[in-house]
């Protein structure tokens, strides 16, 4: 008998929310310098322009907010693409959506000079949308590809995108410094504005995902069965593309391509709450937020006193999880 009856969902969400709060506190207090809770509290409520308060409000706070937003966004996007492609190793990165969003941002800023944060966020979302349509169109064009091949297509398109990014960047020396840092995938040195612009887009994507949760349940079965249950299959797919693009685009705009969060977290969420999407989405959002925040904290210590890009940490964890999944033939 596998896994006994899961925890009551409400209790679980509460536990996860508490964990998330703890992770965010950790993110605010620890790092190159360690601050006490009291100092953090004072800096946030009664800013006194001291060095500590400045570090906390301008450096620590943005990343303590952006990390969970990005983690939640990529995790929810991951849940949706895994169901949509009926593929447990799909994620915004393995389908090339992160790379598509990055390419769009690089083109927009290096070639067209877009610099507003909202503009870049929406550009990133457009890039993700176009890529997702491209990948699925290629898959359908080949007569419905096996899950593995969809991933190979996605990874190849990601590689292609990265090469084009590289060509553009080497030709735009001036933009290189700005963008190179962003392209590494990190939560460091992001202005608070970025979080304020990204949050509503993440919220919209999440809301759309929740609306689509029940049809998504039925989409886990084959197309005929889902249609037989009265699910407007094509409409749901379009809605999901939109939601995934918003979530991935906003995440990439905020943090750059942070890899493998969308691959790893949905598996953990399903282990905890089962396969119903209403629960899966909420659990994945919380778990993704916790995971990204903790990875961000870990990034400050793995090569202390230097800081590693958080993308390197999630890539190592993600690579290992992918190997485990492949060995178990989950995909």
Partner 1 sequence: MTDKAAIAVDTLSLGYGSTTILDALSLDIPRGKITVLAGPNGCGKSTLLRAIRRLHKPSGGRILLEEGDIAQLGERLLARQIGLLAQSPSAPDDMTVEELVRLGRYPHQTMLRPWSLADTEALERAMAGTGVSHLRHRHLGSLSGGQLQRVWIAMVLAQETDIVCLDEPVNHLDMSHQLDCLDLVRQLNSDHGRTVVLVLHDLNLAARYADQLVFLRNGVVAASGRPEELMTEALIAQVFDVDAMVITDPAYGRPLCIPLRTR
Partner 2 sequence: MTGLPSQLSQARAPLALALLCGAFLLLGACGVALGSTWIPLEQVVSVILGAGEKTERLIVLQLRLPRVVIAALAGGGMAVAGFLLQKITRNALASPGVLGVIDGAALGVVIFLAALSNESNALVTSIAYQPLAAMVGAVLGIGMVFFLSGRQSTSAVRLLLFGIAVAAVFKALVMVMMLIGPIYRTSQAARWIAGAVNEINWSEIQVTLLMLLPLLVLTFFAARRLPPADLDEVSARSVGLDLPIFRVAIFALAAGLTAVSVAFVGGVGFIGLMAPHLARLVVGRNVYAGLLGSFLLGAAMLVGADLIVRVLFSPVEVPAGTVTAVIGAPYFLFLLMSRQRHDG
Interaction site with partner 1 (CB under 8 A): 1-5, 86, 88, 211, 214-215, 217-218, 220-222, 224-225, 227-232, 270, 274-276
Query: What's the min distance (Å) between Cβ of 224 and partner 1?
Result: 4
Q: Which CB, 127 or 215, lies closer to partner 1? A: 215
58 touches, from partner 2, partner 1, none (C-beta below 5 to 8 Å by class): none
Q: What angle do CA 270, 280, 208 make, to 5 degrees?
A: 150
Q: Which CB, 86 or 149, lies closer to partner 1? A: 86
Q: Which CB, 7 or 142, lies closer to partner 2? A: 142
138 touches, from partner 1, partner 2, none (C-beta below 5 to 8 Å by class): partner 2
119 touches, from partner 2, partner 1, none (C-beta below 5 to 8 Å by class): none
232 touches, from partner 2, partner 1, none (C-beta below 5 to 8 Å by class): partner 1
200 touches, from partner 1, partner 2, none (C-beta below 5 to 8 Å by class): none
Q: Which CB, 91 or 248, lies closer to partner 2? A: 91
What does the binding site for partner 2 look like in residue numbers (CB under 8 A)? 89, 94, 138, 141-143, 145-146, 148-149, 151-153, 155-157, 159-160, 162-164, 166-167, 170-171, 173, 184, 259-260, 302-303, 306, 308-309, 311-313, 315-316, 318-320, 322-323, 326-327, 329, 331
Q: Which CB, 87 or 280, lies closer to partner 2? A: 87
Query: What's the min distance (Å) between Cβ of 231 and partner 1?
Result: 7
Query: What's the min distance (Å) between Cβ of 168 and partner 2?
Result: 9
């Amino acid at each position: 008998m596998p896994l006994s009856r899961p925890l009551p969902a409400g209790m679980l969400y509460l536990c996860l929310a508490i964990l998330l709060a703890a992770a965010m506190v950790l993110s605010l207090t620890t790092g190159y310098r360690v601050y006490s809770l009291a100092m953090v509290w004072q800096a946030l409520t009664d800013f006194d322009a001291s060095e500590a308060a400045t570090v906390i409000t301008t450096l620590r706070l943005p990343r303590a907010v952006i990390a969970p937003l990005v983690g939640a966004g990529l995790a929810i996007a991951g849940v949706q693409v895994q169901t949509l492609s009926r593929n447990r190793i799909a994620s915004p990165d393995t389908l090339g959506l992160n790379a598509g969003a990055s390419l769009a941002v690089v083109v927009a800023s290096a070639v067209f000079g877009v610099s507003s944060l909202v503009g870049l966020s929406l550009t990133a979302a457009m890039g993700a949308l176009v890529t997702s349509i491209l990948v699925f169109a290629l898959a359908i064009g080949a007569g419905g590809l096996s899950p593995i091949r969809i991933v190979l297509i996605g990874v190849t398109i990601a590689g292609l995108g990265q090469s084009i990014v590289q060509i553009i960047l080497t030709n735009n020396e001036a933009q290189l410094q700005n963008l190179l840092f962003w392209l590494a995938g990190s939560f460091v040195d992001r202005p608070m504005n970025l979080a304020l612009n990204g949050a509503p887009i993440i919220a919209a994507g999440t809301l759309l995902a929740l609306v689509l949760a029940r049809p998504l349940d039925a989409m886990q079965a084959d197309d005929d069965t889902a249609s037989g249950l009265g699910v407007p299959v094509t409409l749901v797919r379009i809605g999901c593309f939109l939601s995934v693009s918003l979530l991935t685009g906003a995440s990439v705009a905020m943090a750059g391509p942070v890899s493998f969060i969308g691959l790893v977290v949905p598996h953990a969420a399903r282990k905890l709450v089962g396969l119903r999407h209403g629960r899966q989405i909420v659990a994945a959002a919380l778990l993704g937020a916790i995971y990204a925040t903790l990875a961000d904290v870990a990034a400050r210590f793995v090569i202390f006193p230097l800081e590693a890009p958080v993308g390197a940490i999630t890539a190592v964890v993600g690579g290992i999880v992918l190997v485990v999944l492949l060995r178990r033939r989950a995909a």
